[in-house]
Amino acid sequence: ELKVEQNPLFLSMQEGKNYTIYCNYSTTSDRLYWYRQDPGKSLESLFVLLSNGAVKQEGRLMASLDTKARLSTLHITAAVHDLSATYFCAVDRPGSARQLTFGSGTQLTVLP
């Protein structure tokens, strides 16, 4: 059974600081996703990581994937208040429908 563990679950950080969210998964998968969710809203796709060593960056967010370690990281650089949201990682399950298994989410609050 595929399990996805995300940590930390809660993160308060000051504006301008850097931090990393970690996502570990238990079995082999060839796709890892990062999503952002604002309160009361749906999920917004941030990154899709397809291969070992993949790195993608968008603004102050950078995601990487190490398939051998079954680990993905979402690094936040010089945080700003607008980044406050809940971040989820999710992994494709093997099989034709490839349904997603999600981590529990990291609730990020960026303080002034």
Partner 1 sequence: DVKVTQSSRYLVKRTGEKVFLECVQDMDHENMFWYRQDPGLGLRLIYFSYDVKMKEKGDIPEGYSVSREKKERFSLILESASTNQTSMYLCASRFRGGYTFGSGTRLTVV
For residues 95 and 112, which CB has a smaller minimum distance to partner 1 in the complex?
95
Q: How far apart are CA 90 and CA 65, in angstroms?
A: 12
Q: How far apart are CA 85 and CA 105, in angstroms?
A: 10
Q: Is 52 exposed, middle or buried (0-12, 13-18, 19+ CB in 10 A)?
A: exposed
Pick the binder of partner 1 from 33, 36, 61, 79 (CB under 8 A).
Answer: 33
Q: Which of residues 51-90 bind partner 1 (CB under 8 A)?
A: 88, 90
Contact segment (CB under 8 A) with partner 1 among 18-26, 33-41, 54-62, 63-71 equals: 33-41
Contact at 8 Å (CB) between 90 and 35? yes
For residues 14 and 45, which CB has a smaller minimum distance to partner 1 in the complex?
45
Smallest separation, CB 79 to partner 1 (Å) = 23
Smallest separation, CB 52 to partner 1 (Å) = 19
Q: How far apart are CA 109 and CA 24, in angstroms?
A: 22
- Residues in the site for partner 1, rule: CB under 8 A? 4, 6, 9, 33, 40-43, 45, 48, 88, 90, 96-105
